[in-house]
A and B are shown apart, each in its own frame.
Chain A
Amino acid sequence: MTEAPGSLRVNGRTVPLENVPTSERLLDTLRWRLGLKGTKEGCRSGDCGACTVLVDGVSMLSCLTLTHEAEGSSLTTIEGISDDPLGRAVQAAFERAGALQCGYCTPGFVVALVGLLRERGTSASVEELLSDLGGNLCRCTGYVAIARAVELVRTEAP
């Protein structure tokens, strides 16, 4: 009883699912099938946030998502995040704040923050945003500059 698999969209491009194994994780599909290596594998167990992507505009962990479960959804990865003004504003804030050290966690932080701002609009305080970024780990412990980027984007976002 296998159904005909559909497709999903990644950064505006249609990706058919017929050749994707049912047990494959979205993280692996993005990195190894589509070559979108900006989405990082950190812990592969939902503890670090490095693999965060937007599924229909909502932040999710691609390591804990079966690719087929996202069928019919529209995904945005870090590669597509600058396609809208909010994404560009978050990227610019990280750049201006120098909010990266090794850079491995940065795509996850940027995508997660775009998702939060989209979800909360202008209602969220900097403190709430930082608390809601608690699922993103920076192994370099460079949190001060990341917090500064959040403040910048909160005051300057379009």
Chain B
Amino acid sequence: MASLDLVAPASVDAAIAALRTGAPGEVAVLAGGTDLMFDIDRGRGAPKRVVSLRRLPWRTLDWNGPTLTVGSTLPLRALERDPELERRHPGLFQAIRAVGSVQLRHRATLGGNLGRAAPASDLIPVLLSLDAEVDLVGPRGSRSLPVDRFVLGSRRTALAEDELIRSVRIPEPRPSVYLWQRVRPANDISQIAVAAAYSPSDGRWRLSVGGIPPRAVRVPEAEAVLVSPSPTDSEARAAGERAARHLAIVTDRRASEEYRRHLVGTLLERAVRSLATEPKVGR
């Protein structure tokens, strides 16, 4: 078994310093480890040095006015079980429930999901629809990026080699929904997933689509169709059709391009209709 230089620094400064010890590309950050574990076993290309965040004080969850701030190493299950989450952020709650199993969510984290930037992430689409911001900390201080400028591609982020994700901020509660299609409902990976959210503060819709490599995206062409908080059925259908037409979609081992385009249209239409007809929760 390959030896691994595993360290668990007890302070943020020590963790950042630990990231800078080691050759670029050979250092990995471990939060829950549910995805990183596959790299550790890989042999060639496996990280030589792993910096565990388990001793950092980032397992936090704060509601401050309209803003929700989630520490990057809080297990997803703790976020899911927060008594306010489902009411204030139904789409985020549904997306978290779609990640793996309870056992997996006891370890997996929001920071890990963003940092690993898997193309099939169940959390990135809904974070896009909620205009979530990623708070980073590094040797030059702190900075924040919106999720769409943080996740750059498949397994690619704007995170520098010596930076860590400290927290994720969601600015306001929004009526939101997350829908997906899979081969197996439980503990599987989505072939297509969509998130929809309506912002009561600016009166605009956000529609996003995940499960399409290289990364989840917002669909402004489809958002432009929706001009009221309660779109008609035909507007909802038009939004879905536009997204299905405009998105770059590929065939891979999980689903064909044709099937994915069909799913994008159907699921987005359904998502918008469910928010248009339901009472507006979120506040």
| Known contacts A112-B102, A135-B100, A135-B102; is-contact A23 B40 (Cβ 8 Å) | yes
Bound CA span A111–B30, Å: 26
Q: Does A39 sit within 8 A of B, measured CB to CB?
A: no
Contacts of A25 in B (CB 8 A): 37
Q: Are A22 and B6 in contact (CB under 8 A)?
A: yes
Q: Is the CB of A46 within 8 A of B100?
A: yes
Contact with A along B70-86 (1 / 0, CB 8 A): 00000000000100000
Assess whether B220 is interfacial by the CB under 8 Å rule.
no
B1 touches A61 (CB 8 A): no
Q: Contact flags (1/0) for B225-238 with A, using CB distance below 8 Å?
A: 00000000000000
Cβ-neighbour of A135 out of B30, B38, B187 (below 8 A): B187
Residue from the list A3, A55, A116, A133 in contact with B8, Cβ < 8 A: A3
Interface pick from A63-71, A78-86, A97-105, A150-158 = A63-71
Pick the residue among B2, B107, B187 that contacts A134 (CB under 8 A): B187
Cα–Cα, bound, A66→B50 (Å): 11
Q: B33 to A59, Cβ gap below 8 A?
A: no
SS class, residues of chain B in contact with chain A:
loop
Q: Is the CB–CB distance between A2 and B5 below 8 Å?
A: yes
A21 on interface, CB distance cutoff 8 Å: yes
Closest CB of chain A to B73's CB: distance in Å?
A: 12
Q: Is the CB of B186 within 8 A of A1?
A: no
Least Cβ–Cβ distance between A101 and chain B, in angstroms: 20
Residues of chain A with a CB closer than 8 A to B185's CB: 134
21 contacts between A and B (CB under 8 A): A2-B5, A2-B7, A3-B7, A23-B4, A59-B103, A60-B103, A64-B37, A65-B37, A65-B107, A66-B6, A66-B30, A66-B40, A69-B8, A112-B102, A116-B102, A133-B102, A134-B187, A135-B101, A135-B102, A135-B103, A135-B187
